[in-house]
Amino acid sequence: MALPRLAVTQAVLDPQALAASVSSASSTPVGAVATFVGLVRAENMGRRVQYLEYEAYEPLAVRAFARIETELAERYPHLVIGVHHRTGRLAVGEASVAIAVASAHRADAFVACRYAIERLKQIAPIWKHEYFDEGEVWIEGATADPDDEAAKSEAWRRTCA
Amino acid sequence: MRVTVRLFARLRELAGASELERTVDGPATIGSVWADLVNSFPALAPYSRTISAARNLEYARPDAPVEEGDEIAFLPPVSGGSTNAPSGEDPV
């Protein structure tokens, strides 16, 4: 069964399928699909990473994705976005997050894709437990207040739009 | 009243549970539910200033009231990376 466009899943991510789903969900002609895929990096802050475990507060995470979709729709009403984030144990090189944006033109697709990942990092309740050569550490989770306009502005700034 | 408390990541590990049924005295707030939890699990105390919370899947402030049957989630902070750091340092 296909995942919803906004989802948290333990399954291996399929960015191509996500890209196809946003494209086919668009009610207006699509001329561009931008995708972002975040991978488990082999090194972090000087540590050699063995594997990661992601943990999410799933229903709130999906709400955060929906919020990002709504924020984007305020500027780009015809975009279609898909966000899939994986949880559980991931090996180095595996995809932890996939984002796809379909739009009429490439400029909007690139901007929206960048905005979505920056915003996800701010407000999605997803934590990362890093296991490295000498130990383990919780290194990530998002706790920015979703209503914090400064954080939102920072996410827009990073899109260079 | 009874509420369900959800804990994640480091908080889950410190309390040894991801979900707890708690009985708290009313009237209760997010802050009083947390304080009661810290009483039971003193190891959580260092997080008092840095957690955020959600009530029934909506972010909620410490003074927000809590009602019977609510699901209260306590969300631990970012401990690496910063929304203010240059993007090159973001541990994505």
Report pLDDT digits (tens) over B1-34.
Answer: 999 999 999 999 999 999 999 999 989 999 999 9
On whether any CB of chain A is under 8 Å from the CB of B38, the answer is: no
**CA distances (Å), origin A110, targets A11, A12, A115, B18:** 26, 24, 9, 38
**Structural domains for chain B:** 2-78 (3.10.20.30)
Report the gap between the CA of B92 and the closest CA in chain A (Å).
7
Residue A129, SS3? Answer: strand
Beta bridge partner(s), residue B60: B53
* A143:B9 CB<8 A: no
The answer to whether A37 and A101 are in contact (CB under 8 A) is no
Between CA B4 and CA A59 the distance in angstroms is: 15
pTM: 0.89
Nearest to A115 by CA among A128, A103, A133, A127: A103
Coil, helix or strand at residue A96 = strand
- Contact criterion met (CB < 8 Å) for A151 and B83: yes
Confidence of residue A5 (pLDDT cuts 50, 70, 90): very high
**Cβ contact B76–A142 (<8 Å):** no
Is A154 within 8 Å of chain B by CB? yes
Q: Which two tokens stand for residue A126?
A: 């997803």
CB A154, CB A141: distance < 8 Å: no
Q: What is the pLDDT of residues A95-129, one digit of tens each?
A: 999 999 999 999 999 999 999 999 999 889 999 99
Give the closest-approach CA distance of A21 to chain B in angstroms.
25
Cα–Cα–Cα angle for A24, A26, A30, rounded to 5 degrees? 85
Q: How far separated are the first and last CA of chain A, in Å rounded?
A: 36
Nearest-CA neighbor of B69 among B54, B52, B55, B51?
A: B55
Q: Which residues pair with A49 in a beta bridge?
A: A132
Q: Decide if pLDDT at A160 tops 90.
A: no
Length of chain B: 92
> Which tokens belong to B87?
């993007």
Which sequence spans correspond to the domains of chain A?
6-158
The HSE-up count of residue A38 (CA atoms within 13 Å, CB side) is: 23
Q: Strands A95-103, A126-132: parallel, antiparallel or unpaired by DSSP?
A: unpaired
Neighbour count for residue A133 (Cβ, 10 Å): 8
Look at residue B79 and tell me whether its pLDDT is greater than 80: no
Q: What are the pLDDT digits (tens) for A130-153?
A: 999 989 998 755 566 778 888 888
Give how far B53 is from chain A: nearest CA, Å: 9
For residues A39 and A96, the answer to whether their CB atoms sit within 8 Å is yes
Mean pLDDT of B60-83: 80
A102's tokens: 């379909």
CATH of domain A6-158: 3.90.1170.40
